[in-house]
Structure 1
Amino acid sequence: MADDDLPEETVDRAERLTRLAREAVDDAEAAAYREERAELLGDHGYTARVREDDPGETLVLHPDEWVDDGMIHPERVEDTSRAVERSLSGPGDPEEWDAVDEHNREVTDRVREAHGDVHGDNAAAFADFMSNHYARQVESATAEEIAEFLTEYYPRNAWPSEDQRAVVEESVELVFDAVE
């Protein structure tokens, strides 16, 4: 991707909005997330679609000028590196593990500074889970992955104290708050 095309923060936000739309409980909420994503990407001359024919689903962001009537026209594509793809299921890119882990540690530090060690330790456990099992940033976690963390990973691998167990769900919410 060319540096002047789509900022990484925009890609991250578009991915987050896509995940929120997929997990929304009502159609109006999902539509609002998709509309916000369209406006965000429109400011950069981009559009989004979710490719579902892969194993899993992939968010594809590409320049508006490639599209007419909802279809990409290959003759309009001059530089494929302008497109951005993000997996919406399964693990992220293991090649980016260091950057993902660094990001997740920064989020953990923010939670610890704002809410103390109990929430900070829970945030660190969640960061470990997302970094090591999915190679993705904490804020990209799906509802299923959060449930997996809370029911499987956390009780077996985090060695939580009684205080930590009592607030783990709140701690995970604080992780998302720290990112936004």
Structure 2
Amino acid sequence: MTRRDAARNWQHIVDTGRAFLDEDRPLRLNEVAREASIGVATVYRHFPTPETLLEVLARPGLEKLVAKAETALREEDEWAAFAGFLAAGIDAQLADPAIQPVYAAATHELPETTELVDRLNALTAELLAWVRAAGRIRPGVEHVDVIRLMCGVVFAATVHARPTERPTLTRRYLDVVLEGLASHDASRRRDQN
């Protein structure tokens, strides 16, 4: 097999895996191989586990979130930057079902996935520290709280809701969460100025 054939097979496996996720089907490598009309051994050579394939599928979305966080840290208003990043994270989870399980996994198959998740965690913590230093978030809110709340918003908006309703519901629930996270002392100080 030529290098070009191997690259073509790899891409076809990735595209087939993406179709499985988009159709809310379990990512089983034998089924991916059958649907892609590629030998099972070839699929396992490229992706030894379903998690490996899932991580490859999640990578572009995670990279976009890292870029969004980096951009947010250059904005002028810390609260708008923080809220905008959280909204982007929710949108990413709605758009790509690979992101949440890969981000939430305790360990990763690929070192580049670990690097991306670590970078995203560091940037999220930096955004949180920025709003905390400005007195814009209630005391005691930790990085893990923010992550869990964002996952909760997505879960709440997807349970018993049609896909067309989900973007509106996530925005509504995010607004509620942000109102709860905001330091009301900081709001009063801004109103008095």
TM-score by length of 2: 0.31
Query: Going by fraction, where is helix more abundant, 1 or 2?
Result: 2
TM-score scaled by length of structure 1: 0.33
When you count strand as a share of all residues, which structure comes out higher? 1
Structure index of larger Rg: 2
